[in-house]
Structure 1
Amino acid sequence: MTRLIFAFGLFLLAALPVAAQQIEVRSGEHDNFSRLVFMLPPGTAWTTERVDGGYRLTTPGRESRFDLSKVFDLIPKTRVLAVTPDVDARSVFIETPPSVHLESFPLPIGAAVVDLVDGAEPEKPTPVAPVTQSFRPAPNRGYLDLYWSKPETTPAPEPEPPTTAAAAASEKPVQVASPLSLPDARVQAAERDLVDELGRAASQGLITMELPKHAPEKPAAVQPDKPAETSSAEAAPEDGSSLPLQSETVIDRDTAATFARHQLSDSGHSCPPDEEFDVLSWQTDKPVVEQLTEARKDLVGEFDRPRPEAVIHLAQVYIAHGFGLEAKDALRSFDIAPEEAGFLPMMAEIVDGLPSHASDNDLIGLTACDGKVALWSVLASPETPRKEDVNFGAVLRAYSALPPNIRALVGPSLSAKLIEMGAPDVASTVRSMLARAPKADQQALEEIDAQIELDAGRKDEATRLLDGLAQSDTPEAAEALVKSIEVKLSQGLAIPAADVDNAGALGLQMRGSESGARLIRAEVLGMGSTGRFDEAFRALANWDAPQFDDIKRKTLNDLAALLGKVPTDDIFIENVFRHREQLDANVLDEAVQITLADRLSNTGFAQSARDILTPETRRSPEGRLALARAALVGRDAAAAYSYLTDLPGEEASQLRGEAMSMIGNHRTAEGEFAQAGQSQAQIEEAWRAGNWNFVAKEGSETQKRFVELFAPETKPPTDPRDVVPLGPLAEAQQLITQSQSEREAFAKLMQELKTP
C-alpha cells in the first residue's frame, strides 16, 4: 500500500503545471559567429525555426520570461540585430541579417546555445541528439564554459534499408510518449481507494496535496523528415516501457527554491526576493480610507497578543500610500522584531525622504542585484554608489513597477543620485517614466527637470524652475528654495531679500530638522551675498543646533569666503575685525584662510594675515606662499625668503626673486625671475645687476640703444687695421654727433622709466 501511495504521489507531482520562470540570456562574441546562451532549467524542451527576418526559439511546454537586458553588453549588433520576446511568453525572436545562419546545441546543464554564424545556411542541418533528463541539481559549469563549449555529437549508426512496414510507419508521426494504459478493473478500484484515503488524510491535516488545474500537455510529435532541435524532458521510449513521471526529493526542491529566491550580487551579498519590495501589490483599487480600515482589523489576536503578519501588512499598506512615519510607528508600537519587519523600516524612511544611516542600513551593497532591491538600495545609500556597481536595468524595471504616487515621491531623489553618479541619461528615463503615469506629479517632474538642467550647466533655466517650485504650496517648496539660493550663490549673484526672508521663516518653522538647518544656512549666505554681514553673523551666533554642527561650520566657512570676495576694502576690513571672534581659523578651510590672509596683506595688515592662518596651513605649500606674500608686504625680505626655501613652482620662484631684489641681490633675483618665466622682471633685474649683454639682447629698443652708446664692451672688438684715422675737423664733428646721440638716448630712457 505504501508503494502504491508513493507512486501515485509521483504521478501527481509530474502532472503539476510548470510555472513561468525568468530565463537569463547571455552573449559572447567570436571571430566568425556570435553566441547566445538561454539559461533554461535542466530538462526544458526547446526548438528553433527559421522565420521571416531571423529565427525563433520556442519552449513549447513552458511559459518563460526572457531577461534580455544584457544581450548586447558583450556583442555588437552585426550578426544579431535584435532579440525580442514574442507575445505568447514561450518564444523569443532573433532578428538577423541574411548573411548569417543559425546553429544550436544543448549544454549538459540544460542551457540552449544558439550561434549566429557567418555564411549561408546549410542545406541539411545535422540533427541534435536530445539531452538525457536528470533530476539531480545541475552542477555549476561556470560562466566562460557557456561560450567556448562545443556541440556534443553522437556517432550515428549505419543506416539499414527500411522494410516495407518500416517505410509505411515512417510516414506517420512518431509518438514520443505512450499513454498510460490500465491493465484491468482491479487497478482502477485500487486507485479509487487510494484517492479516498489521500483525501481523508488531507482533510485531517496529515498531508497536503495540489491537483493540476488542467491536464498536462501531450508532447508534440516529431516528424521524421524534420528533426527537432530539442532538449526534451518529455521524450520517452516508444515501446511504452516507462511512464512520463518526474521525481524530486524534498532536499532538492527546497534547495532549488532557496537559490531561486536569494541570488547573490556581484559583491557577494544575498539578494532578497522581489516580493519583499512589491509595493504595487500592497495596494488595491479601493479608496485609501477603506484599505487602511481593512488593514487595521485583527491586529491583535488571542490574549491581546499582536499578530505580526497583520501588523506587517498594515505597514506595507502605509508605505504603499506614502505614509512612512505611520508605518514605522505601527511596527514600533506592536514590538515587531527587526528580523520580522525586514526592510520595511528603511523603505518607510525612503518614502518620507528621511536621510539614511549606514549603521542600521541593510540595503547597502545590493545595487548590483538583478531585482527590485537594486532600486531601494540606491535610494537608501547614504553615499552615492559607484556607477559600475549599479544594475541600471533592474533599477528602471523596479521604478516602472511602482505605484504612481510612490513613483512621484522617490523620483526626484533617485534622479539626483543618478546624476551624481554620472548617469544623466538614466535620470532622463526616470523622468519619462514619471511623466507617463496616469496622474503625473507636475512638481516632481519640474524638480527632476531642474536637476537635469543643472547637470547640463543650464543654471538660468534651472533657477527658473526652482523658483517656481519654491513659490508652490508643496512639500518640495522648501528644498527648491534651498537649491535655488545655492545655485545663485555659485553664480556670484545677490539673493533677493524676499528669498532670504522666506528661507529664514521656513527655517524657524522647521527648526530641529535637517531641512530647517539647510534653510537657515540659505538665509545666512543670502544675507552675506548682499553685504548684510552683521545680520548673517548674528544669525550664526544664535544658531543652537548641536546635531547640525557640521552644517553650521560649513555655513561659517562659506560666509567667510563671501566676505573675502567683497569688492570694497573698507567693508572687508570693517567686518573682518568686527567679527574676528567668530572667524575661527580652525573652522575655516585652508583655501578660505589663504583668501582672507591675502586680502589682509594687500590692505597692509601683514601681521593679521599671519594670525588668520592655522599652524597646519602655515606648513602647507599654499600657506607658505601666503606667509611669504605677507612678509614682502611688511618689507621683511629675509622672512619671505625663508618661507620659500626649497619650495617648487613658478610662483615660489617669483616671490624669491622679489625677496632677493628687495635685499639687493639682483643677480640672484634675475635667475629666480627666469625660472618663473617673468621675462620683464628678469630684464629689469639684469639692468640693475649690470648684465649689459643680456640687456643688449633682450631689453627694449631704448635700453639697447643706451647700452650701445654707454657700454662699448658689449660691441665686438674692432681690428686696428680697419680703423681709418680722422682729421681734426672730422674728429670734432664725430664727437658732436656722439654727444647728441647720447643725450637723446638718455632722455628716452628717463622718459621710459617715468612711464608707469
Structure 2
Amino acid sequence: MTRFILTLGVILLAGAPAAAQQIAVRSGEHETFSRLVFMLPPGTAWTTERVAGGYRLTTPGQETRFDLSRVFDLIPKTRILSVTPDVDARSVFIETPPSVHLESFPLAIGAAVIDIVDGPETTPPIAVTPPAQSFRPRPNRGYLDLYWSKPAPQAPAADPAPETAAAPPAPVVSPLALPDRRVSTAERDLVDQLGRAASQGLITMELPKSAPKDEAAPGASADPEQAAPPEDSARTLALQSETVIDRDTAAAFARHQLSESGHSCPPDQDFDILSWQTDKPAHEQLTDARRDLIGEFDRPRPEAVLNLARVYVAFGFGAEAKATLRSFGISPEEAGPLPILADIIEGNPHAMADTLSGLTACDGKVALWAVLAQDPPPRKEDVNFGAVLRAYSALPPNIRGLVGPALSTRLIDMGAPDVAATVRSMLARAPKTDRRALAEIDARIDLSAGRKEEAARLLDGLALSASPAAAEALSTAIETKLSLGVAIPATDVDNAGALGRQLRGSETGARLIRAEVLGLGSTARFDEAFRTLSNWDAPQFDALKQSTQSDLADQLGKVPDDALFIETFFRHRDKIPAAQLEARVQVALADRLSATGFWQSARDILSAETRRSPPGRLALARAALAGRDAAAAYSYLGDLPGDEAAKLRGEAMSMLGRHSTAEGEFAEAGQTEAQLDEAWRAGNWTLVAQQGSETQKRFVELFAPETAPPDDPQNVVPLGPLSAAQQLISQSQSEREAFAKLMEELKAR
C-alpha cells in the first residue's frame, strides 16, 4: 500500500502546482439577490453544497487562493454576511441568513456565478461540470455581463420513452478496494504534499521501470457495502504533513489573519508599543538603544536602528523616530508601519497612511491605528470597535493621552459617541493622566450631544492652557460661540490672530485666521475683518478662505442697523463677489438690499446659477416688487409652487390692479388679511360680509344692502311721510358713523 501511494505521488508530481493560483472574486447587488463571481480558469470543476450557516463552494481538483479583498465594496452585508476561505485552500464558506437560498450557474469563460436569492431554498445545490473547452473565440460581452446576465432558460427535456426491459446496471469496479473513505482523503493530502515538496526542490524520486502488479489490499472485502465505513464514522484521519519550507513559513502566515473584507491583517508585534518600553528611566532606555547602531565597516545595523525608532515612538517622539529612520537609510519595507505610527503620534498626516486602509475590521492592534490613519474616518460598520478598545487600553499612558483626543474625535465623527466615552474612561483610569486631554474629549462629546454651552466652557479652559491642543481648542471655541450667536471677546480674537500668524501654513493656523475674521465680524468690526481677509494669502486653503468670506458676508446681512449695513456693504462690495458666496447668503443679502430700497443691487448680488434656483427667483421677484415692476416680478415667479410664491404673485397682481386674481393668490398663500383687502378692492361684498371686521360688516350692511337677505313682502308695513323722513335721518346718521369708523380703522393700519 505504501509503495503504491509513493508511486502515485511521483506520477502526479508533474501536474502539481508550485503555488496556489490566485482567484479574483467580484460582487454585484440587485433588488432580489446578491451575486458573487469566482473568476475560475476555463475547465475548472466546482461544486456547491449546503452547510451549517450558509453554503460552501469547492474546487475539488485544484488548490486555489481566493482574493476576497473587494467582495463587500459593492454589496451590503444583508444577504451575504461574510465570505471566508477554508483551511484546505479548495473551498470558500459563504455565510448567509436562513431567509435566502443559493442559485448557481457557470459562464462561458469558466467563471462560477453564485446568486444568493431572497426566499427559502427549493432544490439543493448540485455539482457543476465545466463545459467542454472550445477553441472558437468567444464574444467580449464586457465586465457587466458577469453581474447582470442570467443563464438562458432551457427547454425541459422530453420524457424518455418507456423501456420494455431495463438492462441491469453495469458493475463499477474500483481499481482499489479501500476499507475506509478516510484513506482516500489521506492519500489525496499526501499526494499534494509530495507535489509541493518536489516543486520546492526538497525531494527527487525515480520511477520504477515497471509498474507494480495489482494486489488486493489485505483485509479488503469484495463486497462494496462491507467496504464502506459506517455512517457515523469520521470523514478524515488525524493525518498532517508539511515540508521544511512550509514549517518555517507557517509562523509568519499564522500571524496574518484575514479581516472580513479579505485583507491580510499584520501581526500585533508590529504595533505593540507597550513592549517597546522597559522599567528603566527614559534616558537610560534611549542610551541603551543608541548603542551598537553602527556595525562592521561603519555600516548601520538595521535591527538596532529599528529598535531605537521604536523606543522613540514609545515615548511619543514621532519626529525623532522618523529622522532616525531617514538618517540611517532604512527603507520603507524595513521600517514597516513605524513612520505611520510616528506621524499619528505627532498629529501629522502620512503619505502612506492608505496602506492601513481596509484593516479597521481586523481583530488585532492594527485596527486602532487604521482608524487613526484614515482620512476621512471609516464607516462605522467597517470598524472592529472591540479590537480598537483593546489596542487603546494596551497603550502606554503617555501615548494614550496623545492619541486619545484624536481617536475620540474620529469615533464621534463616524457616529460612535458611546465608544468615545469608553475611550475617555480608559484615559481617566490611566496613572498620571493629563486632565487637559480628558477635557478635550469631554468637549468633543458635549459638542456631539448638542451641549454647546458646556463644550464652549471646557474649550475656553483648554485655550488658556499651555498644551499642544490649545490652538485647536481656541478655534473650536470661537466656532462654537459663533454658532450660538455670541459675540466673541476681543482677547479671544486677538489671540486667534496671533496664533494663526505663528502657525501660518498649517491647517490649524488657517482655522485660527478664520476664527479671527469671523470674531471681528461678530462685533461689527467689519473693516478689520475684510482687511484681514484680504491679507490672508494661503492658496492651499482657498476653500476655507472662500467659506470664511461667505460666512462674513452672512454676518453683514444680519446687522440690524440699516445704515451700518448699507455703508459697509458698498464699501467692501468688491471683496464679496456673488460667485464666491453661498446661494443662501446671496439670497439673504438680496432681500436685505431690496428691503432698504437698493433693488438693482439686490439683482446684481445674485449669480446666474442662483437666479435659476427657486430661492433666487423669489429674491428676484421681491427685488422687482421693491422697484414697482410688478410684471417682471410675476414673470420671475411663473408657476413656482409654495405659499411664498403665491403671496408674491398676489402682491404683483394687486399692484397691476387685478384685485380678483390677487384675492385668489392670497387665499392660496393663506394670507387672510391680504385676501380680505383685495376682496374689498374687488367689490366682493359677500366675502367681506362673511369674514370682514365688524366695522367692514356694518359698512357693507349699510352701503351694499343686496348682500342682506330680502324681507318678506307680507311683513313690510308702508311708512308715512313723517316715519319715512325719520328713517332717512337715522340711516344717514348710521352711514356717517360707519364711514367714520372705517376711516379710523384704515388709518390705524
Task: Give the TM-score range, shorter chain.
Answer: 0.5 to 0.7
1:311 aligns with 2:344: no
Cα deviations by residue, 1:148-176 (Å, 9 ceiling, x for unpaired): 9xxxxxxxxxxxxxxxxxxxxxxxxxxxx
Query: Which amino acid in the other structure matches residue 374 of structure 2?
Result: S
Against the structure 1 CA distance between its residues 705 and 263, is the aligned structure 2 distance closer, same or farther, given a 3 Å change threshold? farther
Q: Corresponding residue for 2:371?
A: 378
Structure-2 separation of matches of 1:480 and 1:508:
16
In structure 2, the partner of 1:428 is 421
- Check conservation: 2:688, 2:697, Cα contact below 8 A: yes
Match status 1:670 vs 2:660 = no
Give the corresponding residue for 2:746.
753
**Structure 1 contact 346–361 (Cα < 8 Å) conserved:** no
- Residue 538 in 1 paired to residue 538 in 2? no
1:620 corresponds to 2:613: yes
Distance 1:146 1:373, change over 3 A: farther
Query: Which residue of 1 is the match for residue 317 of structure 2?
Result: 323
Partners in 2 of 1:684 and 1:260 — Cα distance? 85
Q: Alignment partner for residue 569 of structure 1, among 562, 576, 581?
A: 562
- Quote the offset at 1:317 in angstroms: 2.0
Using a 3 Å threshold, how does the CA distance of structure 1 residues 623 and 247 change in structure 2: closer, same or farther? same
Q: Displacement of 1:352 after TM fit?
A: 0.7
Amino acid at match of 1:559: L
Partner of residue 547 from structure 2, selected from 546, 554, 559:
554
Secondary structure at the aligned position of 2:633 is classed as: helix
**SS of equivalent to 2:733:** helix
Maintained 8 Å contact 1:356/1:381: no
Does the 8 A contact of 1:411 with 1:444 survive in 2? yes
2:327 aligned to which of 321, 330, 333: 333
Residue identity matched to 1:661: S
Aligned position for 2:726: 733
Amino acid aligned to 2:286: L
Match of 1:64 in 2: none
CA apart distance, 1:596: 1.5
Q: Does 1:468 align with 2:468?
A: no
Q: Deviations over 1:546-602 (max 9, x none)?
A: 222222222222221211122211221111111112112222111111121111111
**Cα pair 2:268 2:365 within 8 Å, conserved:** yes
Give how far 1:719 is off. Answer: 4.5
What secondary structure is seen at the aligned counterpart in 2 of 1:581?
helix
1:284-325 deviation line (CA, Å, top 9, x unaligned): 222222222333334344454444333333322222211122
C-alpha distance in 1 between matches for 2:353 and 2:426: 31
Instruction: Give the one of 296, 305, 309 matched to 2:290.
Output: 296
* Displacement of 1:459: 2.3
Counterpart amino acid of 1:294? D
Deviation at 1:144, TM superposition (A): 5.3
Provide the identity percentage: 72
For 2:399, give the aligned amino acid.
Answer: I
Question: 1:466 deviation in Å?
Answer: 1.3
Give 3-state SS (helix, strand or coil) of 2:364's partner: coil
Structure 1 CA distance for aligned equivalents of residues 246 and 653 of structure 2:
86
Q: 3-state SS of the aligned residue for 1:362?
A: helix
Aligned mates of 1:693, 1:378 — CA distance in 2: 71
Asked whether the equivalents of residues 137 and 252 of structure 1 are also in contact (C-alpha less than 8 Å), the reply is no
Verify the 8 A CA contact 1:319 1:347 in the aligned structure 2. Answer: yes
Q: Where do 1:161-560 residues align within 5 Å?
A: 247-248=241-242, 260-355=254-349, 361-560=354-553
Measured in 2, the distance between the counterparts of 1:514 and 1:753 equals 61
Gap change, CA 1:356 and 1:726, over 3 Å in 2: farther
Structure 2 Cα separation of the partners of residues 751 and 145 of structure 1: 78
Larger mean CA deviation between 296-305 and 516-525 belongs to: 296-305
Letter in 1 for 2:543: D
- Does the C-alpha gap of structure 1 residues 246 and 704 become closer, same or farther in structure 2, counting only changes over 3 Å? same
Tell me the distance in 1 between the aligned counterparts of 2:503 and 2:298: 39
Q: Distance in 2 between matches of 1:727 and 1:147?
A: 96
Following superposition, the deviation at residue 411 of structure 1 comes to 0.6
Alpha-carbon distance between aligned partners in 2 of 1:730 and 1:386, rounded to the nearest angstrom? 92
Q: Aligned letter for 1:566?
A: V
* Other-structure match for 2:706: 713
Matched to 2:561, the amino acid is T
After TM superposition, give the deviation of residue 727 of structure 1 in Å.
3.0
Summarize the Cα distance change of 1:260–1:624 in structure 2 as closer, same or farther, 3 Å threshold: farther
Within 2, Cα distance between the matches of 1:362 and 1:290?
34
* Distance in 2 of aligned mates of 1:332 and 1:477: 30
Unaligned runs of at least 5 residues, structure 2: 4-51, 54-77, 79-83, 101-201, 203-231
Correspondence 1:651 to 2:651: no
Q: 1 CA distance for matches of 2:671 and 2:247?
A: 81
Letter in 1 for 2:430: A
- How far, CA to CA, are the matches of 1:402 and 1:390 in structure 2? 19
Residue 525 and residue 348 in structure 1: after superposition, are their counterparts in 2 closer, same or farther (change >3 A)? same
Deviation of residue 668 (structure 1)?
1.1
Is contact 2:353–2:374 with CA below 8 Å preserved after alignment? no
AA aligned to 1:755 is A
Aligned pair in 2 of structure 1 residues 136, 538: CA closer, same or farther (>3 Å)? closer
Tell me, in whole angstroms, the C-alpha distance in 2 between the residues paired with 1:339 and 1:460: 48
Q: 1:250/1:660 Cα in 2 relative to 1: closer, same or farther (>3 Å)?
A: farther
Alpha-carbon contact 2:646-2:669 (below 8 Å) kept = yes
Distance (whole Å) between structure 1 residues aligned to residue 593 and residue 727 of structure 2: 58
- Aligned residue identity for 1:710: F
Give 2:735's aligned residue: 742
CA contact (8 A) 1:311 1:330 kept: yes
Alpha-carbon contact 2:353-2:373 (below 8 Å) kept: no
What secondary structure is seen at the aligned counterpart in 2 of 1:628? helix
Secondary structure of 1:575's counterpart equals helix
Q: Which amino acid aligns with 1:468?
A: G
Q: 1:583 is matched with which residue: 576, 580, 591?
A: 576
Corresponding residue of 2:591: 598
The residue type paired with residue 341 of structure 2 is M
Deviation per residue, 1:590-647 (Å, 9 max, x gap) = 1111121111111111111111111111111111111111111111111111111121
CA RMSD of aligned residues (A): 3.2
Matches within 5 A, 1:698-709: 698-709=691-702
Q: Go from structure 1 to structure 2 and tell me whether the alpha carbon gap of 1:557 and 1:356 turns closer, same or farther (over 3 Å shift).
A: farther
Partner Cα distance (1:687, 1:147) in 2: 68
Gap change, CA 1:638 and 1:275, over 3 Å in 2: same
Deviations 1:389-415 (A, max 9, x none): 222211111111111111100111111
Distance in 2 between residues matched to 1:448 and 1:346, nearest whole Å: 23
Whole-angstrom distance in 1 between the partners of 2:632 and 2:650: 13
State the 1:251 CA deviation: 7.6
SS of the residue corresponding to residue 575 of structure 2 reads: coil
| Conserved? CA contact 2:630–2:655, under 8 Å | yes
Decide whether aligned partners of structure 1 residues 599 and 145 sit closer, same or farther in structure 2, where only a CA change above 3 A counts.
Answer: closer
Q: Partner of 2:459: helix, strand, or coil?
A: helix
Q: Distance in 2 between matches of 1:308 and 1:618?
A: 65
Per-residue deviation at 1:249? 5.0
TM-score, length of structure 2 as denominator length: 0.67
